[in-house]
Structure 1
Amino acid sequence: MDDRYSRQRLFAPIGNQGQNDLSESSVLIVGAGALGTMLANQMVRAGVGLVRIVDRDYIEMSNLQRQILYTEEDVEKALPKAVAAQNHLEKINSNVQIEGIVSDVHRDNVTSLMNGMDIVLDGTDNFTTRFLLNDACFQNGIPFVYGGAVRSRGMMALFIPEETPCLRCVVSPGAGKGETCDTAGIISPVINMVTSYQATETLKYLTGNKEALHGMLKTFDIWTNQHYDVKLTNPKQGCPTCQENLYPFLQAQQNEEFVVMCGRDSIQVHTNEKMDLPKWEEKLSVIANTKLTPFLLKAKVDHHHTFVLFPDGRVLIQGTEDTTKAKSLFHRYIGL
């Protein structure tokens, strides 16, 4: 018997059988940032048999404050997060199969990425991807462990097809507008708290301890000492995901459409959300050089990239024709 898991086996609700169940389980972690790295660390150390990690981004110095798997050397090498995560995790537990996949998650590949998975863990930083995962999980009958964090506030819930409401029932599309770590900030301890809840509910589910699941949407602020739980009871009437089986984020028309502007080194995003430009100027001026006119808002976020926001919900991302990079920038600074 492997001494690696001896203390976990001694925990009665898991025991030998639960540990064997974990070794035969597969989890998909989407996002290898703050939430994703801590989740991956916990799943690999717990002995989950297959841990698949998908992320589209590269490591930057500002990540190191809260993304626990990465080092300054990773930053210097500009490694993709999924690659660096796999490299470090393989040194932690050679008994676990780890797959680091550098990719954007979208409607055309999400089902194949979760193929064979027992559960999907949310390590993302935006609600567009979360609603996509929610739709794909409920379409394929796979539990979805939602988690989110910004400032000192965290949220989490486990959604199980045919047993609980889905994410759309309790969080409306468009939630969290303008609240991202890059514009509002974040402290590392809230990540620990969110992922501890996420990982614990995952371990309960994978080891067959479903009676111990808390069955709630948990919201908390560890700075202001506020906690608020909402019991997951009845699905929302007419929910297009878990009641009508329409899965809108898996359809061709999504809430965001990234279009390359040929010859202009720009990508245009259609958000379908009206934008209050003065409010956005207030938010973005903290981290960007902004210029507001009656017709648009320009926000230069770094030496290479500028956002141009329009009242009708369009956003131009100037300085790239790479849609993957544009999505990363968009969700980092706009966060719709």
Structure 2
Amino acid sequence: MTRYDRQIKFYGIGDSGHHLIEDATVGIIGCGALGTHLAESIARSGVKKIVIVDRDYVEVSNLQRQSLFKESDAKLSTPKVVACERELKAIRSDLELETYIAHCDTSLLEAAFLQCDCLLDATDNFETRQVINDFSYKYNIPWIYGACVESTYVACPFIPGVTPCFNCVMGILPVMNRTCDTVGIIEPAVSLATSYQMMYCLKILSKTPFDAKLVFGDVWQMDHTALKFSRMFDESCATCGRQPTYPYLQFKQTETMLCGRDTVQFTTLKFNEEELKQHLENNKIQYAVSPYFIRFKFEGHPMIWFKGGRLLIHEVKTVNEAKKIYHQLFG
């Protein structure tokens, strides 16, 4: 009896489907509630390799729904991909992992995710999904959208050459303009979103034919809907139409308000670690150094600078407020 005996015995996968899964590489964009659930499920399915990117670190409020993280990770502000990699390696020592503590943009997708057979969306913002969508259709890599808030969940597969893209279907997607920080979330909603994402991923990897459907519902109210969307192609769509231009791959966003976090991210810092330390010391600002970032405060605002150049400014309400603080500190 092998490790994957029960999966191989399942009629929908079988021995041939499992061999395809074992040869696959899966990309996961985001390592929060959706991302950690997906990463564990994908690792246990037997895929050869997982590529993961996330820009954030573990906080205590994550522990209620984001699996793979421990209290010690929150105390140490461990980057999410670092904690995730540690736990996945404990689950499967033979798993190949490639992780990035970074903001997911076009350059990173093209550098790290072209090797993937399927992409799993575990992000928390619309802009990144637009970039993933363009990347997917330009390079012919299926991706699976997922989201959840309160007790609601949604999942949908987008397959280049087969289904309309994210842009074409946006009109029927459930409105997700609330955030976990304002209205909360329960773990069963996360589990249902990722269960459908995982199901679609296994079908794609095992080359199992299926009708793509948008699935959404409310687990608390026990509501569920599944909609076909194959006829929603827009021939003028810039991503999947007759003459695609993939506009979001050209989009450069240097300041980003993180979803529900009262935090703004800057991605264009030009100085290195030693230059930042010197600047802080010159301005008599105390700082703490970890293997992954430098933490400090300015004008009462906690800040974290990640090695590689990203800066998070916490406890701000708008991008303009963060810009003002940024320029006060760095000129």
Q: TM-score range by the shorter chain?
A: 0.7 to 0.9
Q: Which moved more, 1:145-154 or 1:230-239?
A: 230-239
Secondary structure of the corresponding residue to residue 120 of structure 1:
strand
Match of 1:197? 196
| Code of the aligned partner of 1:236 | D
Post-superposition offset of 1:88:
0.4
Are 2:149 and 2:183, in contact at CA under 8 Å, matched by a contact in 1? yes
Are 1:59 and 1:78, in contact at CA under 8 Å, matched by a contact in 2? yes
The CA distance in 2 between the partners of 1:267 and 1:232, in whole Å, is: 35
Match of 1:317? 322
Q: Which moved more, 1:145-154 or 1:98-107?
A: 98-107
Match of 2:119? 120
Post-superposition offset of 1:42:
0.4
Match of 1:10? 9
Are 1:85 and 1:100, in contact at CA under 8 Å, matched by a contact in 2? no
The CA distance in 1 between the partners of 2:265 and 2:136, in whole Å, is: 29
- 1:51-130 alignment to 2 at 5 Å? 51-130=50-129
User: Is 1:307 aligned to 2:306, yes or no?
Assistant: no
| Code of the aligned partner of 1:62 | S
Match of 1:238? 236
Post-superposition offset of 1:174:
11
Deviations 1:271-309 (CA, angstroms, capped at 9, x unpaired): xxxxxxxxxxxxxxxxxxxxxxxxxxxxxxx96434355
Structure 2, unaligned runs of 5 or more: 257-262, 267-299, 303-313
Are 2:54 and 2:100, in contact at CA under 8 Å, matched by a contact in 1? yes
The CA distance in 2 between the partners of 1:66 and 1:315, in whole Å, is: 31
Deviations 1:11-64 (CA, angstroms, capped at 9, x unpaired): 122122212111100000000000000000000001011011110100000000
Match of 1:280? none
- 1:287-302 alignment to 2 at 5 Å? none
Post-superposition offset of 1:4:
1.1
Secondary structure of the corresponding residue to residue 317 of structure 1:
helix
Q: Structure 1 residues 64, 267: CA separation in 2 closer, same or farther (over 3 Å shift)?
A: closer
The CA distance in 2 between the partners of 1:27 and 1:268, in whole Å, is: 27
Post-superposition offset of 1:317:
2.6
Are 1:59 and 1:79, in contact at CA under 8 Å, matched by a contact in 2? yes
Are 1:56 and 1:104, in contact at CA under 8 Å, matched by a contact in 2? yes
The CA distance in 1 between the partners of 2:30 and 2:60, in whole Å, is: 17
Percent identity of the aligned residues? 36
TM-score (norm 1): 0.76
Aligned-residue RMSD, C-alpha: 2.6
Post-superposition offset of 1:3:
1.8
Structure 1, unaligned runs of 5 or more: 260-265, 270-301, 323-336
Match of 2:295? none
Secondary structure of the corresponding residue to residue 321 of structure 2:
strand
Post-superposition offset of 1:149:
0.6
Are 1:267 and 1:316, in contact at CA under 8 Å, matched by a contact in 2? no
Are 1:38 and 1:192, in contact at CA under 8 Å, matched by a contact in 2? yes
Match of 2:218? 221
The CA distance in 2 between the partners of 1:91 and 1:319, in whole Å, is: 44
Match of 2:182? 183
Q: Structure 1 residues 268, 90: CA separation in 2 closer, same or farther (over 3 Å shift)?
A: closer
The CA distance in 2 between the partners of 1:152 and 1:303, in whole Å, is: 32
The CA distance in 2 between the partners of 1:232 and 1:173, in whole Å, is: 9
Post-superposition offset of 1:83:
0.8
Q: Which moved more, 1:70-79 or 1:54-63?
A: 70-79
Secondary structure of the corresponding residue to residue 229 of structure 1:
strand
The CA distance in 1 between the partners of 2:20 and 2:227, in whole Å, is: 30
Are 1:124 and 1:130, in contact at CA under 8 Å, matched by a contact in 2? yes
Are 1:267 and 1:320, in contact at CA under 8 Å, matched by a contact in 2? no
Q: Which moved more, 1:45-54 or 1:94-103?
A: 94-103
Secondary structure of the corresponding residue to residue 198 of structure 1:
helix
The CA distance in 2 between the partners of 1:63 and 1:236, in whole Å, is: 39
Structure 1 residue ranges, 4+ long, deviating more than 3 angstroms after superposition:
172-178, 266-269, 302-309, 318-322
Q: Structure 1 residues 103, 308: CA separation in 2 closer, same or farther (over 3 Å shift)?
A: closer
The CA distance in 2 between the partners of 1:71 and 1:7, in whole Å, is: 29
Count of aligned pairs: 275
